[in-house]
Structure 1
Amino acid sequence: MTSQRLLSCCGACLMFWAVINGDRAAANDPPPGWSLVWEDEFNAFDSAKWTKINTNSTTNNSIQDYLPEQVTVENGMLVITAEDRPSRGLPFRAGQVISKSEQTHGRWEVRAKLPGTRGTWPAIWLLPDTSQYNWPSGGEIDIMENRGNQPKLTSSAFHYGTNPPYSHHFVYDEQQTSLGGSLVNYHDSFHTYAVDWTADSLRFYLDDVNYYTVYDADVGGFLSQNVKPMQLVINTAIGGDFLPNPDSSSVWPQRFEVDWVRVYEPSAEPAMHGFDNGGFEASGGTLAGWSVFGERLQDNPNVQVSAEAVNEGNASLKLFGDFSPGASYSGVHQGVTVSPGAVVTASLDSFIKSADSIAGTDNSVVLKIEYYSQFGAKFGSAAMLGVEEQVFATGASPEDQWTHHELPSVAPAGAVEARLAIVFIQPGQSPGAVHVDGVKLLAAAPAAAVGDYNADGVTDAADYVVWRDTLGEAGAQLPADGDGDGR
């Protein structure tokens, strides 16, 4: 919401295989790199975790009175009820809760079903204590906001600035989700909204799809230098600057239902990232596990999962241009953990329908493997070490048949991430689409150097100690086999 508010593996042959079409082992397993701090399944209202807000002081020209009785727990869910009943000089009443815990950096996940009628403004966001830090000097992270009159669109934002003197800036993006080729109505079902917050970036997710990333460089270093500890806020506002006010078409009451909340902190162990959902089949046909860029068309996203042309399973990735002036770039990317010297192979299958062809156009699609010295670093930043690429679809490519493509590569010195990217390039406004299926990214760890018995990448006196101490010992995958007899 906007404005001031209340608130290497050892061994010569050991291989690292990126997980294909993997999901978390269980629904509540921590994502790579995160450890659970606290969660709430809402079996009862926990006053040790949450504060129910009681105020008729509004912001953003909204027109609701926040009352504690509008917040309840029912059937294992937190429920915020918005009603068209006047209260304390305002025409509507609704609810807001704020977490009592606060932290700097972490991951927040909220699974919820949104209210949906003209005038409702549900939001899941993070805010510092504004009694200590004048807004927006400590920042504000909007994980999810929705306009009740736009059931298939949500947005995420970051607000920052100074006060005093007052200066407000913000960046934002909007998201749509397709399931099996159809746009999702967020008012009809539960979805998971999340953000990863580090000193380097904010990554916003909807159902495990990274739709939007804000890098520290995008906001003048504010993320690394100025943000303060934040609390989680969940509320339904009514009307205001963000959306149209209710009218005679609005339906009341409206329920904002929250199934669960999970809050994480960075884990002590380094994250190991595998490769997920290369067939785009996860959760019934989604982009879960992928990061999306260049998706700018509403109602018919130019980066989507489709069943129009499928090589395996029931879904594939469909890409086309956004028809904006000048060249446009859109697609998906996903990274895996690698070591320098790893042999990395990316592969996929592509299909061009003659009924939706790029024949005779300048459109093309590129398969890339990008290498980074920092996992998740921004494309084109100093952390980007190099790129291998292959153009696999052009205006001269065959139609109505699946074609297999492979791109081999070797991770350079300093690499910790190999990032597979699929990029649709539309130099002008030419039509046509390309379908992609069966994406794989395989990384094989390099063989240990001769004599490098402790697998630290250096052959030195320490290797002799390992060789001496393990010579003749039996066991699987010994750190060294000094005489080469398997013992």
Structure 2
Amino acid sequence: MKKIIKNSILALTIISSFTFVSCDADETQTVATLNNLVMSDEFDIDGTPDASLWTYDLGDGTQQGLPAGWGNNELQVYTSNSENVEVQNGLLVITARESNSGGYTSARIKTQGLFEQQYGRFEARIRLPQGKGLWPAFWLLGNDCDQNPWPACGEIDVMEYLGDQPTIVLGSVHGPNYSGAESISKEYQLTNDRFDTSFHVFGIEWSPNQINYYVDDVLYQSITPETITEETNGQGTWVFDSSFYIIMNVAVGGNLPGSPDANTVFPQRMFVDYIRVYN
């Protein structure tokens, strides 16, 4: 069931105690957080994604004024067809398929104009596809992107993943002078599991001047304005103090992650159990 709670008095208050393990410092921290649930989609009604929360990016990018390939020479055409995006058995399923013409179709859904938020915890429980050339992502984009084109609007990649590296995900930010291949990014690697064989929770906790990245409540990266200054030699600008909307997609091919190869089997699916946002 989808719900957006606009009145904070009605919000579900949850007090949680998490144990965070830092990958940079060999230490464990226990942190108590107070979160108000303001939006959730539990995907428990089969059919099309809830139209009160989700809309679609369609085509090959040219409809958005980009070069064909979404500015990255990607191979997929995004559709709203049920064969590419559907809610089934309590899961959002985004499916990348090879078409009869030799191209690919997939889906990219977004909350633009329907749900946007500045700061908070954004999380989703996801099982990812596998194969060279697949690039699923759970990410946020500044809601002023139409007036303030990327990367000036800012981009927060809660999770992105290359299908031929099934134990690794990335958390990244993009902004002025640190975008595309020059984004500020860090890997998180599983040691006894794979992202394509089991579900994992990917999240950020975003506050003024800080974005913390988590996999299964393990803190593995913290980005601040000082991080951007250091990584860009003073040329980058912090652009993460406005409302952002959510995007979920599975891209195929492109400069990153490269094209599918003979070992990539289609169709490939990303399964999303839920998306939840707290403030």
Which TM-score band applies after superposition, normalised by the shorter structure? Answer: 0.7 to 0.9
- Tell me what 1:71 maps to: 85
Would you say 1:50 and 2:62 are equivalent positions?
no
Deviation at 1:32, TM superposition (A): 1.0
- Tell me what 2:10 maps to: none
- Tell me what 2:220 maps to: 211
Which of 104, 128, 134 is residue 142 of structure 2 equivalent to? 128
Q: CA 1:135–1:21 in 2, change beyond 3 Å: closer, same or farther?
A: closer
Q: Is the 8 A contact 1:118 1:247 kept in 2?
A: yes
Q: CA 1:20–1:63 in 2, change beyond 3 Å: closer, same or farther?
A: closer
> Residue 134 of structure 1: SS of its match in structure 2?
coil
What CA deviation, in whole Å up to 9, does each residue of 1:4-24 have, x standing for no partner?
Answer: xxxxxxxxxxxxxxx7989xx
- Tell me what 2:7 maps to: none
- Tell me what 2:233 maps to: none
Residues of 1 paired with 2:169 and 2:207: CA distance?
22
Residues of 2 paired with 1:151 and 1:167: CA distance?
22
Q: CA 1:47–1:61 in 2, change beyond 3 Å: closer, same or farther?
A: same
Which of 183, 187, 190 is residue 170 of structure 1 equivalent to? 183
Deviation at 1:115, TM superposition (A): 0.9
- Tell me what 1:118 maps to: 132
Q: Aligned ranges for residues 81-230 of structure 1 at < 5 Å? A: 81-85=95-99, 91-99=103-111, 100-129=114-143, 130-161=145-176, 170-178=183-191, 182=192, 184-220=193-229, 222-223=237-238, 227-230=241-244
Name the aligned partner's letter for residue 48 of structure 1.
Answer: S
Q: Is the 8 A contact 2:126 2:199 kept in 1?
A: yes
| RMSD of aligned Cα (Å) | 2.4
Q: CA 1:235–1:105 in 2, change beyond 3 Å: closer, same or farther?
A: same
> Residue 126 of structure 1: SS of its match in structure 2?
strand
Q: Is the 8 A contact 2:174 2:180 kept in 1?
A: no
Residues of 1 paired with 2:85 and 2:103: CA distance?
18
Deviation at 1:244, TM superposition (A): 2.4
Q: Indicate the structure with greater strand content.
A: 2
Q: Is the 8 A contact 1:84 1:252 kept in 2?
A: yes
Deviation at 1:199, TM superposition (A): 1.3
Q: How many aligned residue pairs are there?
A: 229
Q: Is the 8 A contact 2:116 2:246 kept in 1?
A: yes
Name the aligned partner's letter for residue 66 of structure 1.
Answer: Y
Q: CA 1:53–1:217 in 2, change beyond 3 Å: closer, same or farther?
A: same
- Tell me what 1:303 maps to: none
What CA deviation, in whole Å up to 9, does each residue of 1:355-392 have, x standing for no partner?
Answer: xxxxxxxxxxxxxxxxxxxxxxxxxxxxxxxxxxxxxx
Q: Aligned ranges for residues 82-481 of structure 1 at < 5 Å? A: 82-85=96-99, 91-99=103-111, 100-129=114-143, 130-161=145-176, 170-178=183-191, 182=192, 184-220=193-229, 222-223=237-238, 227-265=241-279
**What residue ranges of structure 2 are gaps of 5+ in the alignment?**
1-16, 21-31, 62-68, 230-235
Name the aligned partner's letter for residue 187 of structure 2.
Answer: E
Deviation at 1:161, TM superposition (A): 0.5
Deviation at 1:226, TM superposition (A): 5.6
Percent identity over paired residues: 34
Q: Is the 8 A contact 2:18 2:217 kept in 1?
A: no
Residues of 2 paired with 1:202 and 1:86: CA distance?
43
Normalising by structure 1, report the TM-score: 0.45
Normalising by structure 2, report the TM-score: 0.76
Q: Is the 8 A contact 1:109 1:192 kept in 2?
A: yes
Q: Is the 8 A contact 1:201 1:216 kept in 2?
A: yes
Q: Is the 8 A contact 1:196 1:204 kept in 2?
A: yes
Residues of 2 paired with 1:173 and 1:115: CA distance?
20
Q: CA 1:249–1:50 in 2, change beyond 3 Å: closer, same or farther?
A: same
Give 1 or 2 for the bigger CA radius of gyration: 1
Residues of 1 paired with 2:158 and 2:208: CA distance?
17
Deviation at 1:33, TM superposition (A): 3.0
Q: CA 1:242–1:20 in 2, change beyond 3 Å: closer, same or farther?
A: closer
Q: CA 1:91–1:232 in 2, change beyond 3 Å: closer, same or farther?
A: same
Q: Is the 8 A contact 1:159 1:168 kept in 2?
A: no
Q: Is the 8 A contact 2:212 2:219 kept in 1?
A: yes
Deviation at 1:39, TM superposition (A): 0.2
What CA deviation, in whole Å up to 9, does each residue of 1:129-153 have, x standing for no partner?
Answer: 3212211112110111111111111
Q: CA 1:86–1:228 in 2, change beyond 3 Å: closer, same or farther?
A: farther
Q: Is the 8 A contact 2:127 2:195 kept in 1?
A: yes
What CA deviation, in whole Å up to 9, does each residue of 1:258-284 have, x standing for no partner?
Answer: 00000111xxxxxxxxxxxxxxxxxxx
- Tell me what 2:34 maps to: 33
Residues of 2 paired with 1:214 and 1:106: CA distance?
15
Q: CA 1:86–1:39 in 2, change beyond 3 Å: closer, same or farther?
A: same
Name the aligned partner's letter for residue 188 of structure 2.
Answer: Q
* Stretch of structure 1 that moved more, 66-75 or 49-58: 49-58
